[in-house]
Amino acid sequence: MITLTHLEIVDLALRLAASGQLALLIYWFGQYKPKTQKRAYQFFVMCIISYILLTTPIANEDYGWLRAPLLLLTDLTAFSIWYLVLKIFKPQRSLMDYPKWLTVPVGLWCVWLAYFFLFTPGKGVLHDASHVIGFVVLGYVIYRCLHGYFDDLVDERRSARLIIVTGCGIYMAVLTFFELAFRFVKDLSLFSLLNALTIALLSFIFSAKYIKPSAGDRSVSEKTTSPAIKETSSSKPPRSVNAEKLYELMESGIYRQPDFSVGALSEAVGIPQHQLRKLINQELGFTNFSHYLNSYRIPEVCRQLENTQKQHIPILTLALEAGFNSIAPFNRAFKHHMGMTPKQYRERFQ
Of 187, 222, 257, the position where a domain reaches its end is 222
End-to-end CA distance of the chain: 85
Give the pLDDT of residue 286: 92
Q: How far is CA 174 from CA 102, 240, 251, 277, 338, in A?
A: 28, 48, 51, 35, 47
Tell me: do 207 and 324 sit in the same domain: no
d(CA 149, CA 141): 13
Domain that holds residue 94: 6-222
Give the pLDDT of residue 131: 86
Give me the residues paired with residue 288 across strands. Answer: 152
Give the pLDDT of residue 251: 93
d(CA 21, CA 203): 7
Buried b (16+ CB within 10 A) or exposed e, 281-295: beebebbbbbbbbbb
Q: What is the pLDDT of residues 90-137, one digit of tens each?
A: 888 888 889 899 899 999 999 999 999 999 988 888 888 898 898 899
Nearest to 81 by CA among 121, 15, 137: 137
Residue 27 lies in a domain: yes
Residue 197 lies in a domain: yes
d(CA 185, CA 175): 12
Tell me: do 188 and 245 sit in the same domain: no
* Beta carbons within 8 Å of 199's beta carbon, 6+ residues apart: 14, 15, 18, 52
Q: Which residues of the chain have pLDDT under 50?
A: 214-235, 238
Tell me: do 276 and 186 sit in the same domain: no
Tell me: do 97 and 195 sit in the same domain: yes
Q: What is the pLDDT of residues 219-233, one digit of tens each?
A: 444 444 444 444 444
d(CA 266, CA 289): 12
Residue 121 lies in a domain: yes
Tell me: do 125 and 148 sit in the same domain: yes
Give the pLDDT of residue 223: 45
Tell me: do 269 and 163 sit in the same domain: no
Give the pLDDT of residue 166: 86
Q: Can you say how many angstroms the Cα of residue 42 is from the centroid of all Cα atoms in its chain?
A: 15
Tell me: do 82 and 13 sit in the same domain: yes
Q: What is the pTM of this model?
A: 0.80
Tell me: do 239 and 321 sit in the same domain: yes
Nearest to 72 by CA among 53, 90, 98: 53
d(CA 171, CA 199): 12
Q: Number of structural domains, the chain?
A: 2
Residue 132 lies in a domain: yes
Is residue 321 packed enough to be buried (19+ CB in 10 Å), middle (13-18) or exposed (0-12)?
Answer: middle
Residue 1 lies in a domain: no
Tell me: do 33 and 79 sit in the same domain: yes
Q: Can you say how many angstroms the Cα of residue 49 is from the centroid of all Cα atoms in its chain?
A: 21
| CATH assignment at residue 310 | 1.10.10.60
Residue 11 lies in a domain: yes
Of 196, 222, 248, the position where a domain reaches its end is 222
Tell me: do 39 and 170 sit in the same domain: yes
Tell me, what DSSP letter sits at residue 56?
A: S
Tell me, what DSSP letter sits at residue 282?
A: I
Tell me: do 233 and 204 sit in the same domain: no
Nearest to 294 by CA among 346, 226, 240, 244: 226
* Beta carbons within 8 Å of 345's beta carbon, 6+ residues apart: 302, 305, 334, 338
* Beta carbons within 8 Å of 166's beta carbon, 6+ residues apart: none
Of 169, 199, 222, the position where a domain reaches its end is 222
Tell me: do 311 and 170 sit in the same domain: no
Q: Give the total residue count for the chain.
A: 350
d(CA 107, CA 235): 45
